[in-house]
Structure 1
Amino acid sequence: MATTLLDLTKLIDGTLKGSFTDAGDNLSITAIGLDSAYLPEPQAIFAAVPGTRAHGAQFAAKDDAAQAVAILTDEEGYEILHEAGDTRPVIVVEDVRKVLGIASASVYDDPSKDFVLIGITGTSGKTTTSYLLEKGLMEAGHKVGLIGTTGTRIDGVEVPTKLTTPEAPTLQTLFSRMRDHGVTHVVMEVSSHALALGRVAGSHFDVAAFTNLSQDHLDFHPTMDEYFDAKALFFRGNSPLAAEKHVVCVDDAWGIRMAEEAANAQTVATRGQDADFRAAEITVSESGAQRFQILTPDKQIWDVELALPGAFNVANATLAFATAARAGVDMQAFARGMSKVTVPGRMERIDEGQDFLAVVDYAHKPAAVAAVLDTLRTQIDGRLGVVIGAGGDRDATKRGPMGQLSAQRADLVIVTDDNPRSEVPALIRAAVTKGADEGAAESAREVEVLEIGDRAEAIRVLVEWAQPGDGIVVAGKGHEVGQLVAGVTHHFDDREQVRAALNNKLPLNTEEG
C-alpha cells in the first residue's frame, strides 16, 4: 500500500513546501532514494542530504536524470531548490538522515514486520555468526535473507550491495524484495555506523545479538565508550532502535556491561562463566574442527559439531544457537545446519598439497589478529608467520597495536599494504612496523620483522619461508578481491595469491640425481 506525500510529511514531522497544486500532497510515493541519477520508480521521492563537499539538493536541482516527483531535504536544501526555480513539492525536516529510515520503511509498507528480523552487532564475529544463523535456519526449513559484509543473499542467491549495512532506502528496498520472495527470516550484520547514523531506523528487529567489542572505528567513534554507546542503541530499552529480544556474549567486559544495560537479554558464555547458554566440553581435532556442548536455560544439553577452528568460533556458534533459540527455531535442525558452515576469508585454509598450514583471514583489528594467531599456534608444531597491514583513511591508532600483537605471537611478521586508500602507504607501514618492532623486543622468542610494500611479494616471501609443520596466515583482506590505492581499486585476492605462491614453491628436500 503506497503512502501519500502528506502522510509521509506527517509521519516524519516535516513541513510541506513548494509551489505545487493543491493535489500535490496526495501524490502517491512508491520509492525513495539517495542517488539523484538513479531512482527506482517514477513515483519516487529523492532524499537530498548535506554532504562533505556539496548538498544533495544541488544535484536534484540541476541533474536532468533526477526524475523524482518530490524532494525530502532540510532547510538549506530547500533554499537551494527554491533559488534554482524547482517547483516540485518538498518535505523539509531538521535532519534528513534522522528520519530517513522511518520514511523509507513507510514508503515500502514496513516490510520488516512481515518476517523475523535478526541483527548481529559487535566488533568481530558478525559475519561468521550470520553465516551460522543463515545455514541453521535454512536447515530448519526457513527461507532466509542475509545482509552483511560479504554481500546479500535471498534464499542462497547473491544480490549485489556495497555496505555492511546499506543506507536506509536500499535496506528497505531489500527488505521489500525479500518479503516479495516469501522470505521468513532475515539475518543481517548491523554496524555501529548504521546504528549511529540511523540506517536501521524503522526496522523491526525481533532479536539482536552482541558478539564482543574491541578497538575499531575510533576514527568515527572518538572513544571506546562512544563506540559502545553506538552498539548499545540496539539493546537499551529506551532506544527507538532496540530489538524486542537480546542475546549478549559475556566473554569480555564489554559484553558484561551490555548485558547489564540490555532491556530483555539472555547471555552466552564460553569461558566457564555463568550464563543462560554455556559452551562446555570443547574438543579440537587435528584439522581444527571442533565438538562441544551447549547447555541451555531449560537444562538441555546439545551436542554441536563445528567445521570452523578457533575458540572465538565456539563463541560465534553458541551465540548463533542462542539467537535462533530466542527466535523459536527447531534447534535440532539448526545445530545440524551449523555443522556444515564454512565462511569465505574467515580462517579459510588454502591447501595445495603443502606440508604446512596456510590460512587467509579477514582479521584487521588488533584483538582479531591476536585471536587468529593464538588459534593457529595451537594447531601447529612448528613456527608461525603472518602477513599484516592496516587500511588507510581509517582508525590510525590501531596500527601499532596490530604490529605489536602480531610480533608477540609470531616468529615472522611481514608488514605490507592493505587498502592504503588516499594515504601514503609507506607511512602506514611505518606505524605497523614500529609496533611490530616493539612486540618483537618484548617477545621471549626470536622474531623477524620485515617490511615489504608489495602485498603479492610479501605473500610469496611468507610462503617461501614456511617449512614442514609451520603455520602461516595472510591477515586483513579475507574475502575481499580488491586493493584500493589512491582512489583506484586493483584486483587482488589473498587466496589467489597464496595458491599461486604455493604452486610456485619448489618441493623441500629435493635431490638432484
Structure 2
Amino acid sequence: MPRSSLRPHHPRARILSEMCAEFGIEPVSDGFDADQVEVTGAVSAADGVEEGDIYVAAPRWVDAPGEAFATAVERGASCILTDASLAPYAEGLDVPVLVVEDARLALGHIAQWVYRTDPKTPRLIGVTGSLGKTSIVYLLDNLLDALGVKTGMSTNRQRHVGEERMDAGGLAPEADELHAMLARMREVGVHVAAVELTDEAVSEHHIAGLYFDVVGYPDAGTALEGGAAARFEASVQLFAPEHAQRGVVNVDGEMGRRLVEETRIPVTTIASAAGEGADWWVESEPLDEGIRFTMHGPEDRELRSWTSQEGPYAAINAGSAVLMLDSAGWDVEQIQAALDRVDGIHLAAEGSAAPESRGSA
C-alpha cells in the first residue's frame, strides 16, 4: 500500500540538466535529453512516486530493486537516482538513471533543491532522546496554537501541515518527506514546525539539508553504556552548529549533564528540583485531573500553569517545551499570558490537542 505524504500541491518543475550541473552528476543511460526532463518532486519510496518525481533508491530501502524501479517508472517517475550496487537493476528503463556514491546522503540535498526549501524557513524545533520526544512535540504544537501560531508537526505517530493531517504509522520520516512537508508549509503560510528526531536523524541523513532553530533533549537517563551510549553520541552530533542554533537540555540524568559539557551550541538547562545547578527547575502538584506546575528561572522569573498530562515526567516535559519556545523567541512571559487565556495545556490521551479547553480560548 502506498505510503501517504504531505507534499506541495503546486510544485514548480526543475530541469534535470540543471540538477546534474548543480550536483556534478551525469546520467549513465543514453538516449535522453536532460534539458527536456522535468523534475517536480523527490521520493524515496517507489509506491509513493507521483508524475514527474525523481525516485531515489538506496540499498537499505529496497528489497526487490528491479520491481521497485519498474513500479516507480510505471507511476510516472521522470528519472532515477541510485548507487552503483543497484544501478544494474535499472538498466533498460525508459527514464534517465543517475548514479552517486551514497544515495541516502544525496536524498536530502536533492529534495532540498527540487522543492527549493530554505534550511531556516519554516523555523524548525527538534526534539531527540530516548524518552519524551513525542510528548514534547505535541506540547510544542499545543503551546504554539495557544500563541496563535499556525504550525506544522512531525512525529512517528502523526504529521500535519496546518489543518492537513496524516497518520505516520510509527515511521520516522525520510529526508524527502520532511522537505516535501516544508514545501507544503510554505504554500499554506506555516512558519514554524516541531519535529520528533530519532537517534538516526544525523547518522542516517534524515535531516540532510535542514537546520534547527532549537533542539531539545528531555532524556533523564543515567546509563551511558550499550545502546544508550550510541544514542547519546547521536544526540551530541545533533547538538552541533552544523545542525542547530541553540538547545534545551534536561540535566536530571548523567546523559543530559554530559551533553551540556560536550555540546558546541548554547543551551538552556532544566531540572525537576532545585539545587541541580540548572537554569530553570520545575515543581509540580498532582491534581484529580492533570498536574499543576511552576517553573522557576533566573532573576525570579516564573511560569505557573496546568497540564492535562499525568505521570512523573509531565511537568518537566511541559517546562522543556516552554523553554524551547522561549529559546525560539516567544519569551516565558508571553507563553504565560497565552496559557492563562486557554487555561493551561490540554492534550488528548494520545498526545494531540484536546477538542475542548477548560477555559475560553
1:137 equivalent to 2:126? Answer: no
Larger Rg: 1
Relative to the length of structure 1, the TM-score reads 0.59
Contact 2:158 2:165 in 1 (8 A): yes
- Which residue in the other structure is 2:310 paired with? 309
Contact 1:121 1:190 in 2 (8 A): yes
- Which residue in the other structure is 1:492 paired with? none
Cα distance in 2 for partners of 1:243, 1:113 equals 10
The structural deviation recorded for 1:120 is 0.7
- Which residue in the other structure is 1:128 paired with? 135
- Which residue in the other structure is 1:292 paired with? 294
Query: Per chain length, whose mean CA-contact separation is higher, i.e. which structure has more relative contact order (CA < 8 Å, sep 6+)?
Result: 2
Alpha-carbon spacing, 1:313–1:13, altered in 2? closer, same or farther (3 Å): farther
The structural deviation recorded for 1:96 is 0.7
Amino acid at match of 1:344: A
Offset from partner CA, 1:331-375 (integer Å, 9 cap, x none): 3453405823224246xxxxxxxxxxxxxxxxxxxxxxxxxxxxx
Cα distance in 2 for partners of 1:211, 1:10 equals 42
Cα distance in 2 for partners of 1:13, 1:190 equals 30
The structural deviation recorded for 1:255 is 0.6
SS of corresponding position for 2:347: coil
Contact 1:13 1:93 in 2 (8 A): no
Cα distance in 2 for partners of 1:338, 1:49 equals 48
Q: 2:46 aligns with which of 22, 36, 43?
A: 36
SS of corresponding position for 1:192: coil
Cα distance in 1 for partners of 2:230, 2:263 equals 16
Alpha-carbon spacing, 1:7–1:208, altered in 2? closer, same or farther (3 Å): farther
1:192 equivalent to 2:172? Answer: no
Cα distance in 2 for partners of 1:288, 1:306 equals 6
The structural deviation recorded for 1:74 is 0.5
Amino acid at match of 1:34: S
Cα distance in 2 for partners of 1:164, 1:62 equals 22
Amino acid at match of 2:79: A
Q: 2:30 aligns with which of 16, 19, 44?
A: 19
Cα distance in 1 for partners of 2:77, 2:193 equals 30
The structural deviation recorded for 1:138 is 1.2
Cα distance in 1 for partners of 2:58, 2:226 equals 24
The structural deviation recorded for 1:117 is 0.8
- Which residue in the other structure is 1:116 paired with? 123
Cα distance in 2 for partners of 1:338, 1:154 equals 25
Cα distance in 2 for partners of 1:52, 1:144 equals 30
Contact 1:112 1:175 in 2 (8 A): no
Unaligned runs of 5+ in 1: 347-513
Q: 1:5 aligns with which of 8, 16, 24?
A: 16
The structural deviation recorded for 1:304 is 2.6
The structural deviation recorded for 1:12 is 4.4
- Which residue in the other structure is 1:96 paired with? 103
1:74 equivalent to 2:83? Answer: yes
- Which residue in the other structure is 2:279 paired with? 276
Pairing of 1:422-433 with structure 2 (within 5 A) = none
1:107 equivalent to 2:111? Answer: no
Amino acid at match of 1:37: D
- Which residue in the other structure is 1:328 paired with? 329
Alpha-carbon spacing, 1:256–1:68, altered in 2? closer, same or farther (3 Å): same
- Which residue in the other structure is 2:233 paired with? 229
Pairing of 1:324-403 with structure 2 (within 5 A) = 324-335=325-336, 336=339, 339-345=344-350
Offset from partner CA, 1:11-39 (integer Å, 9 cap, x none): 54544321034x41563321011232341
Cα distance in 1 for partners of 2:84, 2:62 equals 17
- Which residue in the other structure is 1:256 paired with? 257
- Which residue in the other structure is 2:354 paired with? none
Contact 1:31 1:44 in 2 (8 A): yes
CA RMSD of aligned residues (A): 2.8
The structural deviation recorded for 1:127 is 1.7
Relative to the length of structure 2, the TM-score reads 0.82
Amino acid at match of 2:278: A
Amino acid at match of 2:296: I
The structural deviation recorded for 1:321 is 0.9
Alpha-carbon spacing, 1:52–1:64, altered in 2? closer, same or farther (3 Å): closer
Contact 2:220 2:250 in 1 (8 A): no
- Which residue in the other structure is 1:54 paired with? 63
SS of corresponding position for 1:16: coil
Contact 2:43 2:56 in 1 (8 A): yes
Unaligned runs of 5+ in 2: 1-11, 352-361
SS of corresponding position for 2:42: strand
Q: 1:159 aligns with which of 155, 166, 171?
A: 166
Cα distance in 2 for partners of 1:63, 1:187 equals 31
SS of corresponding position for 1:233: helix
- Which residue in the other structure is 1:172 paired with? 179
Cα distance in 2 for partners of 1:250, 1:11 equals 43
- Which residue in the other structure is 2:246 paired with? 245
The structural deviation recorded for 1:92 is 1.1
The structural deviation recorded for 1:140 is 1.1
Amino acid at match of 2:193: V
Offset from partner CA, 1:398-428 (integer Å, 9 cap, x none): xxxxxxxxxxxxxxxxxxxxxxxxxxxxxxx
Cα distance in 1 for partners of 2:62, 2:54 equals 22
The structural deviation recorded for 1:196 is 2.7
Cα distance in 2 for partners of 1:163, 1:299 equals 41
Alpha-carbon spacing, 1:345–1:81, altered in 2? closer, same or farther (3 Å): closer
The structural deviation recorded for 1:88 is 2.5
Amino acid at match of 1:68: A
The structural deviation recorded for 1:228 is 1.3
SS of corresponding position for 1:207: strand
Contact 2:222 2:255 in 1 (8 A): no
The structural deviation recorded for 1:291 is 2.7
Offset from partner CA, 1:255-281 (integer Å, 9 cap, x none): 11111122222212222211222224x
Cα distance in 1 for partners of 2:289, 2:316 equals 19
The structural deviation recorded for 1:182 is 0.9
The structural deviation recorded for 1:287 is 3.7
